[in-house]
Structures are given as C-alpha cells and as structure tokens.
Amino acid sequence: MRRILSCLSAATLTLAGLTLVSGPASAAPTSRQQVYADAAAEFGVPESVLLGVSYLESRWDRNAGKPSTSGGFGPMHLTDAANVRAVSHHDSGTEDPRGDDSRPLTVRAATPAAPLAASLQTIDAAAALTGAPKEALRTDATANIRGGAALLGSYQKALGAPTGAGSDPAAWYGAVARYSGADTTDAATAFADEVYATIESGAARTTDDGQAVRLEGRSVAPQRAQANRLGLRAAPRADGVECPVTVSCEWIPAPYEAFGDGDYGNHDLSDRPARQKIEYIIIHDTEGSYATTLNLVQDPTYVSWHYTLRSVDGHIAQHVKTKDVAWHAGNWDVNARSVGLEHEGFAADGAWYTEALYRSSAKLVRYLAHRFGIPLNRQHVLGHDNVPGTTAATVRGMHWDPGPYWDWSHYFDLLGAPFWSTGTALTGLVQIDPSYVDNQPAFTGCVTAGVPCAPHGSSSVVLHTAPSFDAPLVTDLGLHPDGAPSTMHISDHGARASAGQTYALAGRSGDWTAIWYLGQKGWFHNPRSAPTANWQIGLVAVPKKDKATIPVYGRAYPEAEAYPAGVPVQAISPLQYTLSAGQRYAVGAVLPGQYYRATTFAGTSPGDWTVIQGDKTYVEIQFGHRVAFVDKADVDLRLSIGS
C-alpha cells in the first residue's frame, strides 16, 4: 500500500490530508511550508518558483545538514566545493574493471584531480546576500531556504527581469536556469524545464524531517528565451549521441588508442546489439567530482564507462558508444552484456543524490531500456554492488557502489516501474521495499572505521540468522572466508537485501520474514504495521531432484567445446557458495552461454571481435546481494507458488 500511495498524483496526496508539522522548537514554531512563503516574500520570488527549484534540488529534504554528492547543502542545495572529493572508485580495492582472465588489467595511476567549477560555491554568495553564517546555511533549513531565495532574487535582478513574490513565474526562467549551476545553455535549460514541469504538475510530500510541503500545480508558459542572456557556453549536441532529447547530453569520447607493448585502452570495440544482446544497465557512483571523472575517462591508460552524470544539474556526458564494451563492472561477461552509468557521488559518507541527477538518470535508463529491450526491474538494472565476482578469488575485491544510500524505490518510481505487489504471502516471492526515510540501519565506518554513520535513509534491510535483532548477521563466505558473520560496516553488504530485489520466501515468524540468501536463510524485520517488503509471484530455480548441491557461477561462459581452434578456453569456475536441495531462488533472466573475445587493438588475435556461443544456457538468480548464475541443466524452473 505504501508504494501504491507513493505513485498517486500530488493532488490526490493533498486530498489525503497531509498535515503540516512544526519545525525546530522555538518561541513560535513555523512550518516548512511557511518558511518557503516567508522567504519568497522577503526576497521577491514567486513561491511556486522557490518551491519548484527546491524540489528539483532536494525534494525539500534537509538531509540532516549533510552535503550532496556535489557539495550542496539543505533544501536549496547551496554548494560548498570544499565538500567535494577528487578521487575515483576505480582506484580502490582489487577489482579489475575489465574483469577478463584472458587480458587482466592493472589500473594505472589516476590523472590528477581537475579544478572544481565556480558553480560549486554558491554558499558564499548566499551568505553575503542574507548575512547568515555559512554554518547556518549548511545546517539550518530556514537559513538555507532564505539563502536560496536570495540567490534566485539576485539572479533575476541581474537579468533586469521583473521581481516580486507576485510577479509572473513564467518570467523567472532565466534565473531558474542560472540557479542550476550549469556551464552550458542546454544543461541550464534542461534543469529549468524540469523545474517548470514540476510547477505545472505540482508536488506534495513529507520531508525527511517530518515537514509536509506542497506545491499546487498551475499552468505556466515559461519565457525560455531568457536563457540566451546568461552568457553560457553553447554545447552543440553531437550527431549520434545516444541520449533522450529531454536531457542535456554531450559527447566527450573515451580514447580507443594503442600505446605500446601490445597494450591499448580504454575500452573494446564491438557491434552490439547485432553482435551480442545488451542485458543489463549498471548503476555506479564516481566517488569523486564530475570534473575529475571526466579527466579519468579521457585517459587511454585508464578505464571507461558509457556515461557520466553530473550531480548539480543532471547533465550527461557520453564517452563510449553503446555498441562498444566499456571496462567498468569488474566482470567481463557483465561488461560485454551491459551499459555502465557513473553518477557523481559517494557511497559511504552519507552524501545525498540530487533530484536533478535521479531524474536525468531515469530518463536515460528509460531510453536505453526501450531501445535495447531491457526489462525495467532489479534483475536487469543493477548496482555495481550487485555484479558478481568472476571467480571465487575475485569476490572479495568487487566494488560496492552506489551503496545502501541510493534510493532505489524513488528511482524506479521515476523510471515508471514502481515496486508493486503482484502476489500475496502465499505466492512465494518477496520483494524488498522499505520506506527509505524511515529505514535507517545502524551502519558504521562512513568516515572512521567502527564509528557509527550519521542516521540516514537507506534502501537496504539487514539479514539475521534468526528472527531476532540479537541474532548474528548471515555470513557471506566471499567477503568473510573464515565464516565469521557479516558486519554493519558500510561496505560490508554480505547481509543486506536492497529495495526492488526479489527473493524466494524461506519462512515467516511473527514480524520477521526469511528469504533464501547465499545458501542460507536470512531473516529481516517485516512487521505488518510497517512492512519492509511486498509479495510477488514469478519463477524460481530449484536444484533438480538428483542433485544434492549445484555450483553457482559469476559469469555465464560457454562450454569448452564451443571455442574455435586458437582461442583459449575460458574456465567455467564456480564461486565459493553452495546451492543445496530444498532451496530456491528468484529467477531474473535465462541467458545463452557466451564469451566476447576482444584482446587486441586491431582485432587480429584468433577469434577477436566475435561472440563465442555454445549449447550451455544459464539462469540468472538473486542469490545474495549480488546476482549469480546457475547452469540451466542443473535446475528446474517452477512457478513460485506451491513449489
């Protein structure tokens, strides 16, 4: 029911009786709605414009005074560049981004960090305009909203356009476009168009700190020509760039270059989907600034991904054609079947993703999914943290972004594929779906190992070995080869299930539900009064009757007999987990066993630039936090109900 209500229109939510909640205790408590109204009146901004901009930045959330992934604070996303780190997640851990045993890749030293854009320092201007100290602008919602309103008012005055809370919202298009922080006209207008679409449709929600806010929808015909007066760089849309027309997108190519000793980078040529079907879209975060990420992907000695998305305004840069194979997921089989999206952001420190980023990403993923026939579900739209290790030896070094703070439920709402219930408690499958704001697991190590992370909404539920908060967490032998229980450290996802992931039901006890997970039962708190999951019906994979256990794999490679002469056989190497009789796992896809051979720059090695396919077929299953593959010959596929 929670997810159904979340998908209703803003008008319906308003009629449902959202009650305003007072802000921080004071002599005269003020609702957040009133704070917006007061700030709009004080700085001469139409309230609908102020609310629309704030919604696209933060969905009106305070985010506990923590910075966004582009260093923005509070409901108005006032930016402070000192809070943006300049590293890359591809520089950490032992994961080989290419993930191919036939041509292992060592990531070379990263390109020096790029300077940050001036748009990432709006907090200074807000402080000068309002007289509020920067610390208050970061942490106090009222000061922050005043700061955002002051900025909008100053931008409008600079344009010589009409001001005043009662002025026509349509005449504020240029100021809204400038507020985006974008450096190109198309990026600024894409942001402004989203703001005005929100003003048109309206919105209503309760924020992360309990404040009910609404924006009544109204018809507005924005004066788009104002954006031409901002003096921003024109970035013509390159022919062939693969993005929907409703987003700002440019072509910044990753180099395909040879650089001696038979080595080359930073991706491989192919001809997908004619050569090989694209099955997956992989969601990453950058663990660094947008500018630094662009520097890295343009280095031929580094690695690659198909797209980078900027946090401050949702702008997209494409680097690798979708027909070609980028080196991003740490698993060559997944790389060969996927498109990789890097989102400016951080998985561990509680930084939040802007609404502009979520919306732009959702538009891109919808476009790619439609173009390549990719189902919009969590079996095909994967986080990097859901990609399996290639062999038992690589599992522990695999990356874990975008982490437990990525809001999968909201993301799939934007994709137009919300997490509906399709079954009952008797239909055999469980889809994880906690309330993001209310679900705040006690993770540790976001900043310092062992130290609790600041409270933060999360998509992940935690799995115990028994229906009790006191029971140990389940064990992931890939991450804890000594058999020790998983931990609450932020990067240890060995006992987590994430929103939208679907698992086979393994038991129920009071307010607790068990799922089959990594060969064991994982119990999570799922009270009827505040459910953290919904019920599904679908296919499950179960071992054939004559098999006590079956192997589980991290890649779906063909049998040895399929390889032509001169092409080394890629081992079908099982992972360290066991799938035993009596267990069952939700089915994601049925895939042909394939290996895309690409080991030389010119495609001159035997078999290069060909897809090797035999008779073996695999079944993708939701095995743990990561997906895995089983040989279809080892399992029966059954309807989840009664199986």
What is the DSSP annotation of 399-452? --TT-TTS-HHHHHHHTT------S-TTSSEEEE---TTT-----B-SSSTTSB
Task: Using alpha carbons, list the distances in angstroms from residue 312 to 66, 95, 118, 235, 360.
Answer: 15, 29, 12, 17, 11
Instruction: State the Cα torsion 39-42-43-47 to the nearest 10°.
Output: 50
Query: Top-level CATH class of 2-80+121-229?
Result: mainly alpha
Query: Which listed CATH number (1.10.8.640, 3.30.230.10, 3.40.80.10, 3.50.50.60) goes with 236-404?
Result: 3.40.80.10
Which pLDDT belongs to residue 24? Answer: 39
Pair of tokens at residue 338: 């996927």
Tell me the C-alpha distance between 63 and 257, whole Å.
43
Same-fold call for 2-80+121-229 versus 236-404: no
Residues 6+ apart with CB under 8 A from 137: 73, 74, 78, 123, 126, 127, 130, 143, 144, 147
Cα-flanking dihedrals φ and ψ of residue 206, to 5°?
-100, 130
Which pLDDT belongs to residue 21? Answer: 32
Tell me the C-alpha distance between 104 and 89, whole Å.
18
- Give the residues across from 114 on adjacent strands: none
Which pLDDT belongs to residue 9? Answer: 34
Sign (positive or negative) of CA dihedral 93, 94, 99, 105 = positive
Q: Which parts of the chain register pLDDT below 50?
A: 1-28, 91
Tell me which residue of 20, 92, 107 sits closest to 60, measured CA to CA: 20
Rg of the Cα trace of the chain? 25
Strands (DSSP E) contained in 220-337 are: 249-251, 257-258, 264-265, 267-268, 280-285, 307-309, 316-318, 325-326
Task: Using alpha carbons, list the distances in angstroms from residue 539 to 132, 542, 556.
Answer: 58, 10, 19
Residue type, 472: P
For β-strands 502-509 and 512-517, DSSP reports them as antiparallel
- Are 495 and 465 in contact by the 8 Å Cβ rule? The answer is no
Side-chain half-sphere CA neighbours of 331 within 13 A:
33
Residues 286-321: b if buried by 16+ CB within 10 A, e if exposed: bbbbbbbbbbbbbbbbbbbbbbbbbbbbbbbbbbbb
Q: pTM of the prediction?
A: 0.93
Pair of tokens at residue 484: 């020790």
SS3 375: coil
Q: How many CB atoms lie within 10 A of CB 600?
A: 17
Domain boundaries, the chain: 2-80+121-229, 236-404, 542-639
- Are 381 and 258 in contact by the 8 Å Cβ rule? The answer is no
Which pLDDT belongs to residue 106? Answer: 61
DSSP 637: E
Cα-flanking dihedrals φ and ψ of residue 401, to 5°?
-80, 155
Which pLDDT belongs to residue 6? Answer: 37
| E strand or H helix that includes residue 523 | strand 520-525
> What is the arrangement of strands in the sheet containing 585-597, beginning at the earlier edge strand?
627-631, 610-622, 585-597, 539-543, 635-639
- Are 356 and 314 in contact by the 8 Å Cβ rule? The answer is yes
Tell me the C-alpha distance between 325 and 487, whole Å.
35
- Are 208 and 437 in contact by the 8 Å Cβ rule? The answer is yes
Which pLDDT belongs to residue 13? Answer: 29
pLDDT 10s digits, 329-369: 999 999 999 999 999 988 887 679 999 999 999 999 999 99
Which pLDDT belongs to residue 202? Answer: 98
Tell me the C-alpha distance between 72 and 58, whole Å.
9
Which pLDDT belongs to residue 22? Answer: 33
Pair of tokens at residue 98: 């290419």
Residues 6+ apart with CB under 8 A from 239: none
